[in-house]
Amino acid sequence: MKVFKSFIIGLMGVTMLSLASCNDWLDVNENPDSPSSLDVEYQQRLAHIEFYTNSGLQFSAWRTTMAMGDWTRYYNGGNYWKVSYWCPVDGQVTTTYQWWFVGAYTNVLDMIEKAEAAENWQYAGVGRLIRAYGFMAMTDLYGEMPYTYAADINTATPEYDDGKTIYLGCLSDIDKAIEYLEKGNSQDALLPKLTAGEDWWNGGDLNKWIKLAYMLKARWINKLNKKGAGSYKEGKYDAAEILKCLDKAMQSNADNTIVNHTDDNGPTHDVLGWDEPVDYSPLFSVCGMNAGYMVTKMLYDNLTNFGGYGVEDPRADHIIPWAYCTNKDADSRTDVKWVGNWRRSLGVDMASEINSQGGPLRAAYNKTTNSWYIDSKSEARLGDTVYVECTSDCKGYFGNPSIMYRRAGASVAASSESGTFYTRVSSPTYIGTYAECCFIRAEVLFKQGLKAEAYEAYKKGVQASIELMNDKLNVWIGEDASLKDCPSFTPIEQSDIDNFVNNGIGTASDLTLGHILTQKRIALMFSNEIWNDMRRYDFDPNLFFGWSIPAYHSKDAAAMRAIPDGKQYRRWRQCSHEYNYNSKNLQAIGEKVPGARMTDASGNSALWNRQDDAWTIPVWWDSDQE
């Protein structure tokens, strides 16, 4: 990590300030030919920190969502296809680690220290909050991690902290962040204030930062449900504190923390090797611009007939991808929804033997017959045209005519595919939302036996999610009126919202925790909180409607070694930087980790985190460990 720190300081001068004025990112040093950390003001680090923190966590959210059953990929489609049937691979665990420690954290500490010294409570508070946000993600993903000495310039091999230390440290940081942020309104008027120029998460709105801090605190305490009742300061589940935090968190969608990405190829690109614009959505980078990602039957069923109530979710058309078909006879299938020439995807049944039979496969487009087809000699695969991939496109970076992908080339509009709401180039990132607050409140109240009150919070969460989606749909068709002809972009009618929240989500009398958690995962699509929820409730299929371990898992030897029968996907193994360069400290922390095996099958010493099934060891908050 010492090497990482010196590397990123050398690059600080080329990636600063905001998305709103990307050219300014390039002009922050007195001597642009020899930039150093001393040349950069603490407030100038914020946009850089926000970009790498958000991107790193969104990359992990894509990977964890793939593993939790809502999305898959075409047969033999690389690491993410493997992850979707519970065959975790080392290739999935490095990027988030690098983007947090290399891109963000080396700058976070400097910003905190300098802002605290200047008594700039706005920047100090934001710095503390982001520090907590990033390290909470690290312990969610990896469990144990260098934390106390993570950026100590005196060592390149920092000691590890256990999960409890990190967790309580993050909660302490968030309390300090709230203290600072609430003091920020009355700080010295001559000090730099948060502005939209540096702050592209909340546009310089201090009150939004305060609400985000309280929401994250509620989220994190709620995750302690396996620890027994007590004070959150002692690592216990503190229902009263959760509800107090929610009263100070978001009260409507107007309070949300949203990163509004754009379809621009601005002059500032990331400096960690991908060389992609900082403007666009991280989920476009890992999913939207890539081929063959498909919705599963589990997600399809939860969107089209949630709970068996027979009312389609108005978000279904916008999450499930569509393909344009001018030859409807050639592309006709049963049980497929059509709107004009647009055909909506069906869901891949991961509980079936489809992967064992070599499917699903990507559809191709025949420009002569104007129809979709599968390039395979297997008759069983020819029907895979019912699965529409969620690939999308962009105008800015790729210079294509639409944000809809054209399978047969940019000039063939008849081969268009819509993509999905959350992974387009200009899709928003929802860092903290009123909808999540509602679902957390509903869960807490439900467990307290307050079913009517829980139902009201649950219903408000569903409605807030739909209305938030509608906001972006209206932006998209305002930018490109031609998009409104595609059902994936058509704004949702109020009558459809009312019908669903009144008739499609159940009633107070039949409300279950499963209703709350399944609707929450739809509202938080592509969030690490989906995996967190599934772990803290032990992957209970009664709580996560339609979920089961994919059938192909038991057919793949590598998958069975990684997650043997009777175990679950509980953590990421450490990335290669740690086991290659810090293995002594990684091995030492294993002595404190229940379930860690310190020897191999022959009894010889072996690195516990490299054992095949290390993926199944619960992280601290997911265990009964004190």
The Cα 609–Cα 611 span in angstroms is: 6
Nearest to 303 by CA among 294, 295, 311, 313: 313
Peptide bond into 360 cis (omega under 30): yes
27, 91: one domain: yes
Q: Residue 259 falls within a domain, yes or no? A: no
Residues 115, 240, single domain; the answer is yes
Q: Helices (H), strands (E): how many in the chain?
A: 21, 11
pLDDT < 50: residue spans in the chain = 1-35
Taking the C-alpha atoms of residue 313 and residue 315, their distance in angstroms, rounded to an integer, is 5
Structural tokens at position 564: 């043997």
* 8 Å CB contact between 272 and 98: yes
Rounded CA-CA distance 266/488 in Å is 27
Q: What's at 544, amino acid-wise?
A: F
Q: How far apart are CA 216 and CA 539, in angstroms?
A: 23
Distance (Å, whole) CA 614 – CA 390 = 32
Apex CA 451: angle with CA 445 and CA 457, to 5°?
Answer: 60
In three-state secondary structure terms, 411 is coil
Non-local CB neighbours of 603 within 8 Å, separated by 6+ positions: none
CA distance 120 to 462: 38
Tally Cβ neighbours within 10 Å of residue 378: 12
Do residues 503 and 368 both lie within one domain? yes
Beta strand 405-406 with 416-417 is: antiparallel
3-state helix, strand, coil in the chain (%, to 5): 50, 5, 45
Question: What's the confidence (pLDDT) of residue 153?
Answer: 82
Count CB atoms within 10 A of the CB of residue 114: 18
Same domain, 176 and 315: no
Q: Quick count: other Cβ atoms within 10 Å of Cβ 512?
A: 15
CA dist., res. 482 & res. 402, Å (int): 9
Structure tokens, 555:
């057919």
H/E run at residue 299:
helix 297-304
In whole angstroms, what is the distance from residue 618 CA to residue 223 CA?
13
Rounded Cα distance between 609 and 225, Å, is 26
For β-strands 293-295 and 71-73, DSSP reports them as: antiparallel
Beta carbons of 466 and 500 less than 8 angstroms apart? yes
Do 154 and 82 have their domain in common? yes
Domain annotation covers residue 208: yes
Bridge partners, residue 295, by sequence: 71
CA atoms of 404 and 489, how far apart (whole Å): 10
Domain limits at 614? Answer: 564-622
Calpha distance 51→268 (Å, rounded): 11
Residue 107 belongs to some domain of the structure: yes
- Same domain membership, residue 453 and residue 588: no
Closest CA to 460 of 474, 440, 431: 440
Determine the pLDDT at residue 36.
Answer: 53
Does 81 map to a domain?
Answer: yes
Q: Does a structural domain hold residue 277?
A: no
Same domain, 532 and 572: no
Tell me the C-alpha distance between 194 and 202, whole Å: 9
- Domain shared by 228 and 291, yes or no: no
Token pair in block for residue 279: 């403007």
Residues 301 and 189 reside in one and the same domain: no
How many distinct structural domains can be found in the chain?
3
**Residues facing residue 259 across a β-bridge:** 429
Task: Give the residue from 490, 520, 536 where a domain finishes.
Answer: 536
Give a yes or no: residue 511 inside a domain: yes
Give the CA distances from residue 103 to residues 55, 92, 296, 428, 554, in Å, rounded to whole numbers and listed in that order: 10, 18, 33, 21, 38
* Backbone angles phi and psi of 344, in degrees to 5: -90, 145
530-540 burial, b at 16+ Cβ within 10 Å, e below that, comes to: bbbbbbbbebe
Cα–Cα distance measured from residue 173 to residue 159, given in angstroms and rounded to the nearest whole number: 20
Indicate if 438 and 510 belong to the same structural domain.
yes
Q: Which long-range contacts (CB under 8 A, 24 or more apart) does 604-613 make?
A: 607/579, 607/583, 609/573, 609/574, 609/578, 609/579, 610/573, 610/579, 612/561, 612/562, 613/561, 613/562, 613/563, 613/564, 613/567
Residue 592 to residue 124: CA distance in whole angstroms: 33
Domain assignment present for 526: yes
CA angle 19, 464, 436 (to 5 degrees): 75
Do 596 and 516 lie in a common domain?
A: no
Structural domain contains residue 557:
no
Distances (CA, A) of 602 to 517, 597, 605: 43, 12, 9
The answer to whether residues 199 and 236 belong to one domain is yes
Unique residue bearing structure tokens 């991939």: 389
Alpha-helical runs (H) found in 315-362: 316-319, 328-331
DSSP 320-333: S-EEE-S-HHHH--
Q: How far apart are the first and last CA of the chain?
A: 29
pTM > 0.85: yes or no: yes
**Computed from CA positions of residues 273, 277, 280, 285, in that sequence, does the dihedral angle turn out positive or negative?**
negative
Q: Which residues are bridge partners to 342 per DSSP?
A: 324, 339
Which residue's structure tokens are 């999610």? Answer: 465
∠ CA 480-483-487, rounded to 5°: 155
In angstroms, the CA 122 to CA 192 distance is: 9
SS (H, E, C) 200-264: CCCCCCHHHHHHHHHHHHHHHHHCCCCCCECCHHHCCECHHHHHHHHHHCCCCHHHCEEECCCCC
Class of residue 626 by CB neighbours under 10 A (exposed 0-12, middle 13-18, buried 19+): exposed
CATH of the domain at 91: 1.25.40.390
